[in-house]
Amino acid sequence: MAYTNINSSLEERIPTSESFESTEIKKANYFKNLTWSAGQKFAFRVSFIFFIAMTFPNNLDWYQEILSFDWLHLHYRDIYDIARFGSGLNFFGNKIFGSTLNGYAVWVITFIVSLVAAGIWTAIAIFTKKEPQNYKLWYYWLKVIVRYRAGIGIIGFGFTKLTPTQLPYPSWGLLNTNFSDLTLQKIYWLSIGIVPWYEVFTGVVEVLAGALLFFRATTFWGAVLLFGALADIVYVNFAYDGGVHVYSSYFVLFSAFILVDYIPDLYKLLIQERLTIPYKYYPTFDKAWQRIARISLKSLTLILFLPVFTYLAIINFLYDPYKQPAQKGIAGLRGNYHVTEYKINGQVLPYSPADTTRWQQATFEKWTTLTFKVNKPVELDLSNGGGAPMRDINRTFELTGVAGGQRVFYYEADTVRNILYLQDKNRGSRNAENREFSGNRNEGKSVALKNKKKENTEDNWIPKESREVIGNEDLKIEAIARSERRTKGIKAESKPVERNKMILKYTILDNGNRVVLSGIDENKDSIEVVLDRFVKKYALTRSTLEAGKYDK
């Protein structure tokens, strides 16, 4: 709902020679006596119901989570979850982030309900004969709610790019993957990840757009930035099957609603080339408690979502990047290897491109991951590797969207006995059970309870003496990055689940140029693998802005 005839009317009725105070009084009186048409009132009622429903969280878990935060030891995902939540009248679950057009069903349902409710509202207003001349005050507060929701949401979205963790720089295993073995979505994500300073730029645009929406004087520019940036992301997600087009469209919708109010003035200024003096209705906060409440709430929002969020995002980038493991891998193992010898149950298995058992290439990442290739397709994980996992084993960006027989194993190392305890990070069709890591932490509670029945009885597959050497994963991170959320998350995610496992002893020879792995593979077969290190020259120059501190 927009006031389309304000400026021209005011120009005719208010002489320019009058004092500023007199002008403001007459403008206020004009708004007070402004009468909306029946159509304008109905449009406002639909908009009011629709955007209120689309603004506030539609799941009680969100509110419970806010109350459960340790506000003195916040984690990056705590603030992120405040900014990102499901909304709308959704009678079929709490998912508005679907990767298909079904994700827009919530919008359609909410709009239909808004039409019906607005019709009932209109009938009551006519029947009781208490219909106001206009809803200028309600309209003002609706715009405030919409712009703050959009501002908070896009800042949460933007910080994952401003501190480049949403689209991380590719691991060695990903760089070694054939282009044709990557999904369309993965190709796009990696194409941004390899240029992190561009990713930072997109984050600056999004965070700046959100910050500008917090102030009335800069609302227009914030909405313009938001509309342009997110409209592009919507199209990219459709083109590359990125999976977040629904959530991106959400901000395009909100920014468009904010900009509607500016269209008449823009038309007059840019098309008609007439003198334009914009004036919008703002309520007067004439009581002390109103001014204190307004300043306090605004200050709290600004502090939480700008300096506090900035600090937490930097800590996340440096020590606990949410899409890649946080723990350092064994320094002496890191690198790319040729598989020069492979024995299974004591028998040498010579290299053959058609063989489906023999490893063909191996890589130890900077973190706790062993990647190797076999000539046997793996079940493709089509998620984006994001979410909120605290354990390294559940951070799967290095394997999602990757085909071609790429095997990715997380390892825990007993460095006294030189033993690696490896677990397959790709759970295939069982990935659906891991969706508790895709949203806020409370969403996973019901799934975790269901998984209790499926727990693997091999809780003690790692001997006690090795477990003592391996230690607590939570304590391996820098103290500055530890939080109540991380501690509880690691504990919750440490319950045993069904995974392929290997136990391999490692021996480093020839000044680190050869590694021999021997032990039991996932099929309970005895294997011995000889790996010879080679230095691979990548055409891609390593970035100066990569998440995580693995060399210190």
- By the 8 A CB rule, do 72 and 162 touch? no
Question: Given this model, what pLDDT does residue 283 score?
Answer: 86
Question: φ, ψ for residue 399 (rounded to 5)?
Answer: -125, -20
Q: What is the mean pLDDT of residues 268-273?
A: 90
- Alpha-carbon distance 61 to 447, whole Å? 14
| Amino acid identity, position 500 | N
Structure tokens at 304: 């939480």
- Number of residues that make up the chain: 552
Residue whose entry in the numeric block shows the structure tokens 């199209």: 235
- 532 backbone dihedrals φ, ψ, rounded to 5°: -110, 125
Q: Which of 43, 159, 145 is nearest to 87 (CA)?
A: 145
Query: Residues 263-268: contacts with CB within 8 Å, 24+ apart?
Result: 263/2, 264/2, 264/3, 264/4, 264/5, 264/7, 265/7, 268/7, 268/8
Look up residue 306 and give its amino acid. Answer: L
Please check the confidence at residue 4 and state whether its pLDDT lies above 70. Answer: no
What pTM was estimated for this model as a whole?
0.83
The tens digit of pLDDT for each residue in 218-243 reads 999 999 999 999 999 999 988 888 77
338 pLDDT above the threshold of 90: yes
Report the pLDDT value the prediction gives residue 88, as an integer from 0 to 100: 67
Strands (E), 312-396: 335-344, 347-348, 361-364, 369-373
Give mean pLDDT, residues 387-416. 92
Task: Count other Cβ atoms within 10 Å, centred on residue 178.
Answer: 11
Q: Hey, is 377 helix, strand or coil? A: coil
Beta-bridged to residue 442, according to DSSP, are none
Q: pLDDT tens for residues 135-157? A: 899 999 999 999 999 999 999 98
Least confident of 95-104, 120-129, 435-444: 435-444
Note the pLDDT of residue 84.
83
Average pLDDT over residues 519-533: 95
Instruction: Using pLDDT thresholds of 50, 70 and 90, give the confidence band for residue 27.
Output: low
Rounded (5°) CA angle 3-206-480: 135
Cα torsion for 491, 408, 439, 310, to the nearest 10°?
90
User: In angstroms, rounded to a whole number, what is the distance separating the alpha carbons of residues 168 and 186?
Assistant: 11
Is pLDDT larger for residue 329 or for residue 24? 329
Cβ pair 200, 161 in contact under 8 A: yes
Nearest to 500 by CA among 332, 358, 370: 370
Residue 383: the pLDDT is: 82
The b-or-e profile of 19-50 (16+ CB within 10 A means b, else e) is eeeebeeebeebbeeeebeeebbbebbbbbbb
pLDDT at residue 276, rounded to an integer: 83
- Could you report the per-residue pLDDT of 298-319, keeping only the tens digit for each? 999 999 999 999 999 999 999 9
Task: For 479-520, write each residue's pLDDT tens digit.
Answer: 999 999 999 999 999 888 889 999 999 999 999 899 999 999
pLDDT at 431 over 50: no
* Rounded average pLDDT over 416-430: 86
Place of tokens 């007070």: 32
Phi-psi region of 129 (alpha: psi -120 to 50; beta: other; left: phi over 0): left
pLDDT at 467: 94
The neighbour count for residue 16, using CB atoms within 10 Å, is: 6
Over 80: is that where the pLDDT of 450 sits?
A: no
Q: How far apart are CA 194 and CA 534, in angstroms?
A: 23
Q: pLDDT-based confidence at 388, cuts 50/70/90?
A: confident
Q: Examine the pLDDT at 98 and tell me if it is beyond 50.
A: no
Helix/strand/coil (H/E/C) assignment for every residue in 2-40: CCCCHHHHHHHHCCCCCCHHHHHHHHHHHHHHCCCCHHH
pLDDT band at 100 (very low <50, low <70, confident <90, very high): low
The CA distance from 419 to 397, in Å, is: 26
Burial 526-536 (b: 16+ CB within 10 A, else e): ebbbbbbbeee
- Residue 435, classed as helix, strand or coil, is helix
Question: In the structure, what pLDDT confidence band is assigned to residue 24 with cuts at 50, 70 and 90?
Answer: low
pLDDT the model gives residue 15 = 43
Contact 36, 135 (CB under 8 A): yes
Taking only the tens place, the pLDDT of each residue in 174-213 is 999 999 999 998 999 999 999 999 999 999 999 999 999 9
Please tell me the predicted confidence (pLDDT) of residue 444: 43
Q: Give the CA radius of gyration of the chain.
A: 28
23, pLDDT greater than 90: no
pLDDT of residue 280: 78
Three-state DSSP class for residue 270: helix
Locate 223 and state its tokens. Answer: 């909405």
- Residue 436: the pLDDT is 37
Residue 441 above 80 pLDDT?
no
What whole-number distance in Å separates Cα of residue 28 and Cα of residue 502? 75
Q: Indicate the average pLDDT of the chain.
A: 85
